[in-house]
A and B are shown apart, each in its own frame.
Chain A
């Protein structure tokens, strides 16, 4: 029974425990932390179970309320969203374990509502990914976004304003998506993704469909912070509490990329998105520009978290550009990069959270002599950094490799150039930090022996923060080592038939 019902349990467990969190916090505030972990653990188990079923038996269809589509809402899980489900629940679980100390330091009296919003945010992400109904997707998109705005607004000074800007732009993005759904409903009378995909090919000449497609793409570009629609992202993610940015930064943009893949290749047929319209060409150049601008802007930052935000923007360019190249190898690379980028961004923001917790600052100067003070954190950071740069045994290398291979096959040299350029900039970015951290510059410049001893005392982050960070670092290496089997068992089935 659990196996059959697992798809809906993934979402329902998160939703129910989210609304039960204030009640538990009312009884005893300290119970919230184990409660959230327990809920996410159960949800993670269900999603692993679902993934296992999908790998062995193919796609799962789950009919809510036993109403068959097109009347009822159906959950459809294939290889692509099974992978996303495991990534989302896994990330949420790790960040929840990680959250304890950081929240105690940053938001001591708001933990109960923080955890409520945290679980609602996860519910939203899971719902977006699992549903097979375009309107249901919009509802979950709003749940995820609204929870996200509130989580970001609890951050440091200036966070409410950043969250408000994000709210305006995010709402415009969601409205565009809704308008697209509305136009499709107008001409087809259906909201079910599979049924729409069947009806739409007969209407591909219609202007309404073209407008709907345009609304989808622009709305999603806003949600995924594709250049030049990225302006909300750096402020929002920099000023959010460390835990919130460690949850939202890896997932929100990647979930939007997932919706884009669904719209382009499941809702519309690949030949519509690739051959009939110049969309992929636009996406390719948008990706190239996003990569270059993101990399250059990251170089100009003096704040570590803000630098990471621009790296996120550049990474969105990788995935969008990979879809824009539009051949099997590049799209395989883009999907693999969705997975890798979730893990890498999680690692980077986890380290940023640890630095903020120990040093009370995220400026690059906080990294002064940090290798001596926090050797274990920085060891994990090195693994993540090497992966973002794209050094072979780590996962970042392989997705970049597929992206480059795909664009060479398609003759898109400009995208190859952008990828190499961004890798080189990443080398500079991370080695700058390693240089600051490895040598003891000393803020005062004095070689006083006493202060030197004091500065090099090892003072590590708490274990509850270190362990999740190390799990991420291990995942980066394991995904790298087993990338071939991940591709043959999961990603090759997720790549659309072109």
Chain B
């Protein structure tokens, strides 16, 4: 079980770090479609920022900010955004994932629509990768047993 750190230095540094990490992650996601980076890389950085919060501020704090249900929702929603954008292109009369069709909705030319379409896909990928990276980290560090369950079973916190 991951408890919160008692060290003021670790906690403060982590608190300062996390916003910058997340901002950088968003930067990587946003620039993915025309420079190195993208949804996978940015999603991993976002997930890493969550992992840093988890090991410094503890499970309870993180659960308040990002409940399990939301995590699950994000994981599914990311793929749905990806596939949904593809499907939208299909409904608009093009082939699957033919972003140039989005120009009708977005009101820009075809090349610009392709760029925006792939940005939407990268955002979806970023959400999913972040949720999955975090939940893998969480499952490995706790053995998949939620702290609530442990408490219900009468184990003392910090025993593991």
Contact surface of A with B, Cβ cutoff 8 Å: 1, 5, 8-9, 12, 15-16, 19-20, 22-23, 26, 62-66
Contact = CB atoms under 8 A, between A and B. Distances in A.
Contacts of A8: 90, 95-96
A22 B79 contact: no
B100 A66 contact: yes
A15 B95 contact: no
A342 to B, nearest CB: 27
B96 A16 contact: no
Contacts of B96: 5, 8, 12, 62, 64-65
A65 B99 contact: yes
B121 to A, nearest CB: 10
B87 interface: yes
Given A12-B86, A64-B96, A65-B99, 10 more contacts: A8-B96, A19-B75, A19-B83, A22-B72, A22-B76, A26-B73, A65-B89, A65-B96, A65-B97, A66-B100
**Contact residues of B: prevailing secondary structure:** helix
Contacts of A22: 72, 75-76
13 contacts: A5-B95, A12-B96, A15-B79, A16-B80, A19-B75, A20-B76, A22-B76, A23-B77, A62-B95, A65-B95, A65-B98, A66-B94, A66-B100
B36 interface: no
Contacts of B69: 26
A19 B95 contact: no
Interface of B: 69, 72-73, 75-77, 79-80, 83-84, 86-87, 89-90, 93-100
A12 B76 contact: no
Contacts of B99: 65
A23 B76 contact: yes
Contacts of B80: 16, 19-20
A53 to B, nearest CB: 16
Given A19-B76, A23-B76, A64 B87 contact: no
10 smallest CB-CB distances across A and B, nearest first, come from A65-B97, A8-B96, A19-B79, A66-B98, A19-B76, A16-B83, A66-B95, A65-B98, A22-B76, A23-B76
Contacts of B95: 5, 8, 62-66
A5 B95 CA distance: 7
A62 B95 CA distance: 8
Contact of A16 (B73, B87, B93, B97): B87
Contacts of A23: 73, 76-77
A163 B40 CA distance: 27
B83 A12 contact: yes
Contacts of A1: 93
Contacts of A16: 79-80, 83-84, 87
B108 to A, nearest CB: 17
Contacts of B89: 65
A1 B100 CA distance: 18
Contacts of B77: 23
Nearest to A11: B96
Nearest to B90: A5
Contacts of B86: 12
A4 to B, nearest CB: 9
B32 to A, nearest CB: 17
Nearest to B69: A26
Contacts of B98: 65-66
Nearest to B117: A65
Nearest to B118: A65
Contacts of A5: 90, 95-96
A8 to B, nearest CB: 4
Determine which residue in B80, B96, B97 has the highest number of CB atoms from chain A within 10 A of its CB, and name it. Answer: B96
Nearest to B101: A66
